[in-house]
Amino acid sequence: MKNFLLADSIISPLGFGTEANLENLRNSKSALQLQPANNRFPNGYYAGIIDEDVLDVNFEKIGKISSLTKLEKMMILAIQDVLNSSAIDLENLGLVMATTKGNIDLITSNNFEGDRVQLWKLGEVIASFFKIKSKPIIVSNACISGGLAVKVANDLIRAGKCKHALVVAGDLVSEFVMAGFQSFQAISPFPCRPFSNDRAGISLGEAAAALLIGPKANSHSNIQYVNVCTANDANHISGPSRNGEGLVQAVSRVLENSNLKSDCLDYISAHGTATIYNDEMEAIAFNRLGLQEVPLNSFKGYYGHTLGASALIETILTKHALQNNELLKSLNYTAAGVSKSLKIIKENFKTDLKLALNTASGFGGCNLAMLLKKEI
Amino acid sequence: MNDLYIQNNLVCRSSEIWKNKALFFKSEENDDLKAFLKKAYQYIEMDYPKFFKMDNLSKLAILNFEILIQNEKIQDPALVFANSNSSLDTDQKFQKSTATFASPALFVYTLPNIMLGEISIKHTLRSENIFLISKEFNPSLYTQYVSQLFQDKNISETVCGWVDLHNSEYDVLLCRITRNGEVKFTEENLQKLYDQPHE
């Protein structure tokens, strides 16, 4: 039994709703803006941050803003947008949530009850807003969370636990994660430049996304979820493996389990965070897999790294790439900057697409490979 | 899922470690977590200096994993882990450090799945990983996910884990799931293991 990616929404600085986001991506707009200086960043820093006033104006149409955190409002708006576009029986809906740090900004705030910082509480708040009865399943597996949640959702339907499953993901640009990545000296002084020779680290972004998965294609989508595999690098908890072994294994397994060969791939949505070592690791892995001629991009130049949301956002964007036969350029790419060649997409173009690979890697040595296919 | 079995299990709480329902190790009741972990580490003669760089959550995971598989040959088990409090214990420590000098050594441990990375490094596992969050121990999370994983013929075993830490209270259940055995891998049996008394 195969499931389809039926409806989706992205809530980001580039727009509220997938279409608004796509419009900005096509025009090469980036969410990454210079943010005001603070003690930690005397010259400011580049990040993609959602204007909370704009968020509240949008949110007031569906709920009370005072009782919810910024992240909760973002996630709820994403889900509401998906529900608006599809007639779904909430009684028979599974909910899967992906986040790395959830409401971590509450760790120093007294505005909400103590347990609001807990990830399970975030799940409860979201489910109760929509009166979804089934207990949400929460995935917190670093930067592959959003993709892994899609696998969990697919499994739920396959196991007969629900008819449709809704995946929601979100993370904030919090003081907490900014301090953390800066302690690693991993924050780029300019908007991140994935795979470029002058890349100098990540930019962070915040966003929420939602994706509805179900067993039947509809007039809006014939994009099929094929499979997801993960593999650990077994190498280092905060640095990518030098030879890309974990990513190689994740991709080879997902192809093998789906009886597909690497030469069937039309497109790769790579992780491409723009750190020196991550992008190099991906280049080595894709070359070991013989994928150096497959058109590839990273969406981090548009959104920054949205952590637990990023792999779901990229799943959604890959879905639309397949649907529209449209590839978007890897924004902020300057010149080749990895030791193995890759076919980085330099200009937007239209081409026939059937099968796409979406990859993600994260702290803890985790790697994920997802295949999406257009059913014709 | 009928073909899956709980091969062996481990419970660790309040200064005690129980393996396959027998007391494996006990330290002084008043020992704090740090003392308990160190004594258990010495008891199994673990000799793994990296251990002392880990946060308490990863220490709990790697130490108990070691005891679970002691004297056994494992075959690249998938790791399906969960807890309630994520990495909040270390999150709070990292947050404190940001007032003076944000510590990168603490920041890396502010994700619960880091324990999967630590276990994978120690045992060179390049297997499937997932980390889930649930308010309370929920056996259906494991049975659902694991039964789907085993549909992949290349997967021969999985270790399911609940490794939780909050306000120095710790709560660990590890189970090795295989295709052969006697105790069936069901929600009921998992819950029974989690509930097992430990007087």
| Contacts for B3 with CB less than 8 Å, ≥ 6 apart | B150, B179
First to last CA, chain A: 16
Q: How confident is the model at residue A359 (pLDDT cuts 50, 70, 90)?
A: very high
- From chain B, the residues in CB contact with A103 under 8 A are none
Q: Is the pLDDT of residue A219 over 80?
A: no
CA distance A74 to chain B (A): 20
User: Is B104's CB within 8 Å of A176's CB?
Assistant: no
pLDDT score at A376: 80
Structure confidence by residue, pLDDT tens digits, A222-246? 999 999 999 999 999 999 999 999 9
Q: Residue for token digits 């969370």? A: A145
Q: Would you state the pLDDT for residue A62?
A: 94
B:45-74 residues touching chain A, CB 8 A cutoff: none
B145 interaction partners in chain A (CB closer than 8 Å): 152, 155
The CATH H-level superfamily of B5-195 is Thiolase/Chalcone synthase (3.40.47.10)
In this complex, do A365 and B127 lie within 8 Å of one another by their Cβ atoms?
Answer: no
Answer whether residue A340 shows pLDDT above 60. Answer: yes
Q: A271 pLDDT exceeds 50?
A: yes
* B191–chain A Cβ distance below 8 A for any pair: no
Cα separation, B41 vs B47, whole angstroms: 8
Chain A interface disruption, residue of B120, B150, B151, B162, most A CBs within 10 A? B120
Kindly determine whether residue A152 and residue B145, on different chains, have CB atoms separated by under 8 Å. yes
SS3 B8: strand
Is the minimum CB–CB distance between A242 and chain B shorter than 8 Å? no
**Cβ distance of A155 and B116 shorter than 8 Å:** no
Using an 8 Å CB-CB cutoff, list chain B residues near A231: 126-129
Q: Closest partner residue to A237 among B112, B118, B144, by Cβ?
A: B118
* 145-164 in chain B: CB under 8 A from chain A: 145, 147-148, 152, 154
Q: Kindly state whether residues A358 and A237 are assigned to the same domain.
A: yes
> Do A88 and A195 belong to one domain?
yes
Secondary structure (H, E, C), chain A:
CCEEEEEEEEEECCEECHHHHHHHHHCCCCCCEEECCCCCCCCCEEEECCCHHHHHHHHCCCCCCCCCCHHHHHHHHHHHHHHHCCCCCHHHEEEEEECCCCCHHHHHCCCCCHHHHCHHHHHHHHHHHCCCCCCCEEECCHHHHHHHHHHHHHHHHHCCCCCEEEEEEEECCCHHHHHHHHHCCCECCCCCCCCECCCCCECEECEEEEEEEECCCCCCCCEEEEEEEEEECCCCCCCCCCCCHHHHHHHHHHHHHCCCCHHHCCEEECCCCCCHHHHHHHHHHHHHCCCCCCEEECCHHHHCECHHHHHHHHHHHHHHHHHHCEECCCCCCCCECCCCCCEECCCCEECCCCEEEEEEEEHHHEEEEEEEEECC
Are A363 and B111 an interchain contact pair (Cβ–Cβ within 8 Å)? yes
Q: Is B124 exposed, middle or buried (0-12, 13-18, 19+ CB in 10 A)?
A: exposed
Do both A20 and A158 map to the same domain?
yes
Residues of B in contact with A100 (CB under 8 A): 111
Q: Which residue in the set A158, A232, A363 is minimally distant from B108, CB to CB? A: A363
Best probe of the B interface among A232, A258, A361, A367, by most B CBs < 10 A, is A232
| CATH code, A194 | 3.40.47.10
Structure ipTM = 0.97
Whether residue A229 sits in one domain with residue A210: no
Q: Across the interface, which of A107, A155, A234 has its CB nearest the CB of B124?
A: A234
Q: What is the pLDDT of residue B198?
A: 53
Task: Sort out which chain B residues have CB atoms less than 8 A from A230's CB and list them.
Answer: 128-130
- Per residue in B175-191, pLDDT tens? 999 999 999 999 999 99
| A179, A214, A249 - which closes a domain | A214
Choose, out of B132, B164, B187, the residue to mutate when testing the contact with A (most A CBs < 10 Å): B132
**Chain B environment of A134 (Cβ under 8 Å):** none
Report residue A70 as tokens.
């910024």
Domain boundary among A181, A214, A247: A214
Nearest by CB: A120 against B92, B98, B134: B134
Q: Could you list the residue range(s) of the whole structural domain that residue A367 is in?
A: 223-374
**Domain layout of chain B by residue ranges:** 5-195
Is some CB atom of chain B closer than 8 A to the CB atom of A134?
no
Q: What distances in angstroms separate CA A43 from CA A34, A228, A258, one per listed residue?
A: 9, 41, 49
Q: Chains A, B: CB contacts under 8 A, how many? A: 147
Q: Does A237 touch chain B (CB under 8 A)?
A: yes
Do A231 and A367 belong to one domain?
yes
Touching check for A140 and chain B: CB below 8 Å?
A: yes
Residues A197, A202, A207, A211: is their CA dihedral positive or negative?
positive
With CA atoms as reference, the chain B residue closest to A365 would be B117
Co-location of A197 and A90 in the same domain: yes
User: Does residue A181 register a pLDDT over 70?
Assistant: yes
State whether A197 and A234 are in the same domain.
Answer: no
Query: What is the C-alpha to C-alpha distance for residues B134 and A123, in angstroms, rounded to an integer?
Result: 9
Last residue of a domain, one of A214, A234, A255: A214
What mean pLDDT do residues A133-146 have? Answer: 96
Could you tell me how far CA A74 lies from the centroid of its own chain? 14
A346–B contact, CB cutoff 8 A: no
State the pLDDT at residue B152. Answer: 82
pLDDT at A216: 82
Confidence of residue A278 (pLDDT cuts 50, 70, 90): very high
State yes or no: pLDDT of A218 exceeds 50.
Answer: yes
Do the chains contact at B128 and A231, CB–CB below 8 Å?
yes
Residues A42 and A29: their CA atoms lie apart, in Å, by: 26
In the predicted model, residues of chain B with pLDDT beneath 50 are: 1, 199
Phi, psi angles (nearest 5°) of residue A4: -120, 155
CA distance A44 to chain B (A): 18
| Together in a domain, A108 and A195 | yes
Edge-first strand listing for the sheet containing A204-205: A33-35, A45-48, A204-205
Query: Does one domain contain both A260 and A359?
Result: yes
Q: Are A288 and A177 contained in the same domain?
A: no
How many domains are there within chain A? 2
- pLDDT tens-digit profile of A13-27? 999 999 999 999 999
Q: Are residues A130 and A232 in the same domain?
A: no
Percent of chain B whose predicted confidence (pLDDT) is above 70: 97
| Same domain assignment for residues A189 and A228 | no
